[in-house]
Amino acid sequence: ASWISEEDKATHHAEFGTDYTPALNWYRRGFSSLGSNIEVSALANNSISPKIHVPTLMITGAKDIVCIHGRPTNTMEGCVEEGRLEVKDIDAGHWVMLEKTAEFNNVLKEWLEDTEGKARKSLCKAMFSTNWYHSCGRCYLVSAHHLTL
């Protein structure tokens, strides 16, 4: 990987070797008990509930060989309400944020600015609608379930 120097690689291999089975077993064990109450079939059928109902950004590496391209996106589509998931592919491997730091940060910044802009517009619209806005001089109440991005 371009962000790791040859000297760092040599030091790492001298200290830890090149067999990552023990380290990966730690992850395998840790993940084996996560979501044990969720059936694997629910993941396979995209029927996880409740779904994420807020805008969600997923940045993936187009050259990722760890998460086979497309599979994480398919899983996320089953976990996020329709229209709430935005996927951005960057020409990188698994560690997108390290390989393409500037591009990753730009994608994230643009998405956050766009999402914030949509939220502000929605909030202003809700506040000036007589159906959703209440002001008694002591409080301002906006029904959050009417705010959509």
State yes or no: pLDDT of 105 exceeds 90.
Answer: yes
**Cα–Cα distance, 70 to 72 (Å, whole number):** 6
pLDDT band at 106 (very low <50, low <70, confident <90, very high): very high
Burial of 61 (0-12, 13-18, 19+ CB in 10 A): buried
pLDDT band at 123 (very low <50, low <70, confident <90, very high): low
pLDDT band at 103 (very low <50, low <70, confident <90, very high): very high
Task: Write the CB contacts of 9 (distance below 8 Å, at least 6 apart in sequence).
Answer: none
